[in-house]
Structure 1
Amino acid sequence: MLTILDRLPDGLLDLDADQLFAVLKQPTLIHLQGDRQPSLFVSILLHGNETTSWLAMRELLRKYQNYNQNQRLPRSLSLFIGNVEAAQQRQRHLAHQPDYNRIWQMSPQPLPEQIMAQQVIAAMRSRGVFASIDIHNNTGRNPHYGCITRLDRDSLQLARLFDRNVVYYTSPKTVQSFAFGEFCPAIVVECGQPDLPDGTAHALAYVETCLNLESFANLPESAIADINLFHTVAIVKIPPELNFSFCANPNDDITFPAAMDELNFCELPIGTTFGKVKTENAYLLAIGEDGVEKSERFFAIQDGEIILKKSVMPSMLTLNEAIVRQDCLCYLMERLTS
């Protein structure tokens, strides 16, 4: 279920994200030649509703669409266009599909999508990769930031070229950037909510900067001195048997603030109210990066409220209830000092 091409299909750059499926039909890896080697790898639309990635790459490629004549790319580019079927319906993924950013490690009984992802990894390992960029959006309000799985100098340099806010994480290990981080500097760039002009412009400028970069060794140490570095310590989920909402519904087990996503990237002190519960049997799951459930470390129930027991910074808080069920309520982070 993977198509590999060495040129852009005719008319591709005239299409919106929800029209790509009509031409590509399945995940597609496109190798485009440029002046430098090895290639920059960029993955887009791993989530079909996160359209900034296609808007940015479409604009960049329009600029270089005559790259094989007068406007060659400054570096070779390998573009992976992921879940075009879900993009057709502007969904994160469809009901019959796995999450395309959770398929980059094989399970004991591999899914077709996992086999496809391994084919992408093998193809890029064989060609060599300068760096890997995975472009995403958030459904809640977040600043733009980068996520890396390693703290080596090249990874930090790659991240700082995008933004001062950098998140270090080691789980889940099934994501694209973790797989590519095994053999090249790799980053997830979070570009705010979909379709906003500032997110598209930021992603476009960043990819073009990386295409024009000769090497990470040429960047000074001072370039990473001002990084705001955070470490993901837990992913927060809502138990499937509990009802929840972001409004005062008396029938819900848990009620969160209506503007809860305003707390993203705010350092919250101990005692901060995270939500209200109808009964003391309601609770949140907080799963550490080691896979161990650690909700008692982070949350307590007091007088009908969910109270923080540790000072943490949430990210990816969303008000989209479907995304909360599909993925999570948020991640919890702590500041790292260099």
Structure 2
Amino acid sequence: MSDEFKAAASQASVDDKSWKLLEKTLLASVQEQRRSRRWGIFFKSLTFLYLVAMLVMFSPLMNGRGVGSSGSHTALIDIRGVIADKEAASADNIIGSLRQAFEDKQTKGIILRINSGGGSPVQAGYVYDEIRRLRGEHPNIKVYAVIADIGASGAYYIASAADQIYADKASLVGSIGVTAATFGFVGTMEKLGVDRRVYTSGEHKAFLDPFQPPKADETAFWQGALDTTHKQFIAVVKQGRGDRLKDKEHPELFSGLVWTGEQALPLGLIDGLGSSSYVAREVIGEKNIVDFTTEESPLDRFSKKLGASVAERLAMSMGLEGPSLR
């Protein structure tokens, strides 16, 4: 075999290997592109489905909430959980829902469906005042508070602004009182040998500090603040309920005790026994119910799950908070 033939055969073998390598490279590239396209389609589809789900969950037209509802209806507003700023039952959320419900031309009556043990007297006061203001502007639209499991303290504060209050026979109603709880760690610190060093400008600036022993004059001052808030609470209940309170001088009516719905009825704390559907159907006369409750945004819920309010809760647990209607 000539040298030229051997060289040609060797070159052909090299070229064949090169083509096979190129073919494999191109095939791998095509397969990678196909995989990328499939994953791209998958993620685009997932994003689309997520957006559709968000639209279904939060669109007023698709979830039956808010303005623009067709036909005569009873407006429903839920008041659930702690009544406090930044919570679902904040004054901003409740008042926003109330205004939408009153301004809707098809609203025949409004139900405040309450399931709350109370909260901030300030937030409850904002809602109470706004209910009475809106009732004055829209005298033809009645407001009914319906207590589910519990409507106590700040929640009852709000309910007393309604035209009428209903509850189940086993609901817990009342708790017309004020509380402000804290802890005392003085003895614990002494056992641990820890000194508390607080620097303030103002003689009583740190009077709620749980790491220092209470002083008689500061305790008396704080009790006076709670008594003042309690008197305000009693005044708004008397204003809202009026002559329906059977015995305004009842020794335990404003003591902070709670009653069942069955017990609350003869006391005049409620006007009747019944559920939200009962009130809509039998009292308002419009069984079609439209929910006007302001819902938290997904971002708000996500933030709370991440513990965005941990510092606030810690401060509350240590007593660094105002009075509470709970």
TM-score by length of 1: 0.28
Higher-Rg structure is 2
Q: Which has the higher strand share?
A: 1
TM-score by length of 2: 0.29
The structure, 1 or 2, with the larger RCO (C-alpha pairs under 8 Å, 6+ apart) is: 2
